[in-house]
Amino acid sequence: MSDETAALSPRDKWFRASVAITAGIAIVAAAVGFIWLPPFQAGARFQGVWNAICQAAGLAQPAPTAAEVVTAGYKTTGVVFTPGMFQGAGAESVGRGATLALRCTMCHGARGMSQANSPNLAGQYAAVVYKELRDYKSGARTSAIMQPLVVGLSDQDMRDLAAYYDYLPRPPAYHPASAGPPPEIVVSGATMRNIPPCAACHGGLDNKTGSPWLDGQPAPYIKAQLEAFKNGTRRNDISEQMRNVARNMTPDEIDAAARYYSSQPP
């Protein structure tokens, strides 16, 4: 092995040359990248050599204290979703939810199927029901009917209700062939107006955590919500996702999406 390790000795000329060249390049590159270049960047944060080195090294620094923290002038949703948040809700939770749901039947139907153009809740994702209840309670979403009903609900009550509606069987998705192919806005969105396809989050192509399943929801309800997002009267969507989408939708596209999702078995 002497042949192998000979090149690792500092006396070997290959060792001296290669280490010196490599270290030289690294040192010059570091001097340029960490000391010389940073002050050319705009802003006062690169003042001083040590500060420049820390910034260029990517050290996380607290935001400057003088900076104004921007907050919305209205109540935003406080719900944070994590995957698996509602996994493992047992039969007990579903049972408690069924009892609590008796007070919802007037609008949302005896088994979660509405006859009154209120949303159908049967089979809706637990995350969705839970988030809307929380938002009604916190005032992030407003409704003269819903808000008084949720005042007395505990967090566990809301989880139980969500588990119950998640447990109920969904009505079968039904889009009659006579209605033609799904509208463009549902399957393709409008890329140049920054509108992703509805189906990418709301079922059909994919589901995203926190997005409701829309098949079979009443058309007047879907339309009313899109318009509420559009004119800013509903503001509990996380990071303004739905408001940004709805603002760019045309009235025809809103109608088409509502009609498509609401088409029901005859």
Partner 1 sequence: MLINKRLILAHFWLAFAGFGLALLLGEWQMFIRSPLHAWIGNPELYYRSVTAHGSAMAYVFPTLVAMGFGYAITEAALKRPMIGPRWAWLGFALVAIGTVVAMVPVALGHASVLYTFYPPMIGSPFYYIGVVIVVIGSWIWVALMSVNLYAWKRDNPGQPVPLAMFSNVAGSYLWAWTAVGAAIELIFLILPAALGFTTTIDAGLSRVFFSWTLHAIVYFWLFPTYIAYYTIVPRAIGGRLYSDAMGRLAFILFLIVSMPIGVHHLFMDPEVGSGFKFMHSVFTAFVALPTLLTVFTICASVEIAARLRGGKGALGWITALPWRNPIMLATAFSFIMLGFGGAGGLINMSYQLDSTIHNTQWITGHFHLIFGGAIVIMYFAIAYDLWPHLTGRALASFGLMRLQLATWFVGMMVLTFPWHWVGILGMPRRMAFYDYTDPALAAQAASVIASVIGGAILVISGALFIIVLIRGQLAPRVDAGPYRFSVAVHEPRRVPAALNGFPLWLALMIGLTVVNYGFPIANLAALSNTAVPIVPVGTGR
Name the residues that contact partner 1, by CB under 8 A: 3-8, 12, 14-15, 18-19, 22, 25-26, 29-30, 32-34, 37-38, 41, 53, 55-60, 81-85, 125, 182, 187-188, 190-192, 197, 200, 205-209
Strand partners, 195: 190
Q: Residue 195, Cβ neighbours under 10 Å: how many? A: 18
Of 80 and 144, CB closest to partner 1: 80
Q: Which of 148/181 has CB closer to partner 1?
A: 181
Q: Which residues have CB under 8 Å from 134's CB, separation 6+?
A: 77, 78, 79, 140, 155, 158
Smallest gap, in angstroms, from Cβ of residue 161 to partner 1? 19
Residue carrying structure tokens 């002050």 = 39
The rounded distance, in Å, linking the Cα atoms of 128 and 170 is 15
Burial 206-240 (b: 16+ CB within 10 A, else e): eeeebbbbbbbbbbebbbbbbbbbbeeebbbbeee
- Residue 143 CB, shortest distance to partner 1, in Å, is 27
Q: Which is nearer to partner 1, 31 or 106 (CB)?
A: 31
- The minimum distance between CB 122 and partner 1, in angstroms, equals 14
Collapsing DSSP to helix, strand or coil, 77 comes out as: coil
Q: How far is the CB of 32 from partner 1 (least distance, A)?
A: 7
Report in angstroms how near the CB of residue 17 gets to partner 1 at its nearest.
Answer: 9
Between residues 25 and 145, which has the closer beta carbon with respect to partner 1?
25
Residue with tokens 């609008």: 107
Closer to partner 1 by Cβ: residue 129 or 150: 129
The nearer residue to partner 1, 103 or 208, going by C-beta atoms, is 208
In the complex, the smallest distance separating the C-beta of residue 51 from partner 1, rounded to whole angstroms, is 12
Concatenated DSSP letters for 6-58? Answer: HTTSTTSHHHHHHHHHHHHHHHHHHHIIIIISGGGSSSGGG-SHHHHHHHHHT
